[in-house]
Structure 1
Amino acid sequence: MKQPLGVILAGGQATRMGGGDKGLRILGGQSLLARVEARLSPQVAQVALNANGDPARFAALDLPVIADSIEGFAGPLAGVLAGLDWAATQGADTIVTAAADTPFFPCDLVPQLLLASEGMTHPLVLASTPDPERGRVRHPTFGLWPVALRDDLRGALEGGLRKVVLWTDTHGGREALFSDENTFFNVNTPEDLAQAERML
């Protein structure tokens, strides 16, 4: 399999952070987005940013910016679809997504997702971590996605589907289990940003 392309999902509205671009918030002297890009880029062939609105505000990152093609903030799956459509123009077979607000995700994210996908016709894997109550919890913004299923995903989104796991389960999606749940700590609120500073 060819090396996946990377897509950073930054298309959300950041309501709990008071609006604006969460990814441009500063953590330890760098934007969250810069930290995510630095962690993802060594693991993939190329990185793009999924974000809506004026792409000029991300110019400092020097990344391709791809907007959702589904209207009205359809959630992370719309960003996945935008990434798959972009990857198709690059001749890629798969993408790996990472959330713009999760700066500590595993440095072996992509190898572990690829390992979990072995033998699948359409590699579709979500990251997961142990959870004392539910056994394990999936992280739907961190996954390996096949370009071959992009039209199926488009149809599902146009039909109103928004929940990531409903779609991945339909296609026999697997999980890659990561032992440390703190690696997927995400910054949703100003309090979370302060916590991330402490975690640094």
Structure 2
Amino acid sequence: MKRPPAVILAGGLSTRMGGGNKALRMLAGETLLTRVIQRLRPQCAALAINANGDAEQFDTYDLPVIADGFSGFAGPLAGVLAGMEWAASLGADAVVSCSVDTPFVPEDLVHRLREATGRTGIAIAASPDDSGRLRDHPTCGLWPVALQPDLRDALESGLHRIGQFAASYNPGRAVFDSRPRDPFMNLNTPEDLAQAARLV
């Protein structure tokens, strides 16, 4: 099976990080975006960045920048929809999504997601927390482009929770070990960034 394309979700407001563009925050000498690109590029047929606002700030990455098709801030689900539309234009039947604030994303993410694909074609990443309870990470997922109409309807009805949308389709789960560090560690605050720097 042909490798799917992937969209890096970088359209957030970064309010807890103090504003600005989280994708371009530095972690041990490299931007978060660079780190995610380095991990995803070998796994995917093509990459795109989902971001809103000035696309020129990503010029040095030489990747397509696709904006949400919804006004205002519609969250990562709008980025997934933009990714589906872009992937469909490439002739792909599915797209992988990955949040830009997960710089330790697994180097076998795409392979494992494809192996875990559920009956409806969706697969999401998951890992156990400190208590052993499984936590879903739906921003890192595999989405069939055929779900575009359903996702657009959900967004137009006011649904913005990516996990809620995925759960309604009984997704498959690719479970990753969270030791010695959780590969889906989200960097939402300056303190998270400092902790990640100690782990690099």
The interval holding the TM-score normalised by the smaller chain is over 0.9
What are the superposed Cα offsets for residues 56-99 of structure 1, whole Å, 9 maximum, x if unpaired? 00111111000000121111100000000111111111111111
Runs (4+) of structure 1 exceeding 3 A deviation are none
Which of 137, 154, 168 is matched with 1:139 structurally? 137
Report the counterpart of residue 50 of structure 1 in structure 2: 50
- Does the aligned pair in 2 maintain the 1:2–1:93 contact within 8 Å? no
- Does the aligned pair in 2 maintain the 1:76–1:164 contact within 8 Å? yes
Report the counterpart of residue 179 of structure 1 in structure 2: 177
Q: 1:197 corresponds to which letter in structure 2?
A: A
Q: Distance in 1 between matches of 2:157 and 2:97?
A: 23
- Does the aligned pair in 2 maintain the 1:47–1:63 contact within 8 Å? yes
Report the counterpart of residue 160 of structure 1 in structure 2: 158
Unpaired segments of 5 or more residues in structure 2?
none
Q: CA deviation at 1:174?
A: 1.7
Q: Distance in 1 between matches of 2:146 and 2:193?
A: 37
Which protein is richer in helix relative to its size?
1
Q: Distance in 2 between matches of 1:117 and 1:154?
A: 21
TM, length-normalised to structure 2: 0.95
Q: Distance in 2 between matches of 1:112 and 1:39?
A: 14
Q: 1:70 corresponds to which letter in structure 2?
A: F
What are the superposed Cα offsets for residues 14-73 of structure 1, whole Å, 9 maximum, x if unpaired? 001111111101111111101100100100100000000010001111110000001211
> SS where residue 17 of structure 1 aligns?
coil
Q: Does 1:19 align with 2:19?
A: yes
Q: Distance in 1 between matches of 2:182 and 2:130?
A: 14
Q: CA deviation at 1:131?
A: 2.5
> SS where residue 150 of structure 1 aligns?
helix
Unpaired segments of 5 or more residues in structure 1?
none
Report the counterpart of residue 108 of structure 1 in structure 2: 108
- Does the aligned pair in 1 maintain the 2:138–2:166 contact within 8 Å? no
What are the superposed Cα offsets for residues 111-167 of structure 1, whole Å, 9 maximum, x if unpaired? 10001117x3x4201100013457200012100000010111001100111111221
The residue correspondences of 1:57-136 to structure 2 (distance < 5 A) are 57-117=57-117, 120=119, 122-133=120-131, 135-136=133-134
> SS where residue 92 of structure 2 aligns?
coil
> SS where residue 52 of structure 1 aligns?
coil
Q: Structure 1 pair 132/197, CA: closer, same or farther in 2 (3 Å)?
A: closer
| Two-structure CA RMSD over aligned residues (Å) | 1.3
Q: CA deviation at 1:103?
A: 0.5
